[in-house]
Amino acid sequence: MALNPIPLLGGKSVHCINEQQMAEAVRLVEKDPATSEKIGLRLKELEAELTRNERAALAFVIIQRLKDSARQFS
């Protein structure tokens, strides 16, 4: 039996991203002198090389790994 893939590009989510967290992330990418160039270059490469669905998968995996690593230190 074939499994239907779960869409990653929208819909309901059990995770939420705080607006302040999103604003800080954008600031780090666009305005922070210590991080904007490094993150911005990687982001441009990923956006050029990966499909939208692949970028969504990567985002979810990064979030999961961040959650997992936070548990190690709590």
Domain boundaries of the chain, sorted by first residue? 19-72
pLDDT for 74: 66
Q: How big is the chain by its Cα radius of gyration, in Å?
A: 15
Q: Are 47 and 55 in contact (CB under 8 A)?
A: yes
pLDDT for 3: 63
pTM of the predicted protein model: 0.71
Tens of pLDDT, residues 26-55: 999 999 999 999 999 999 999 999 999 999
- The fraction of the chain above a pLDDT of 90, given in percent, is 51
Distances (CA, A) of 61 to 8, 32, 69, 73: 11, 25, 12, 19
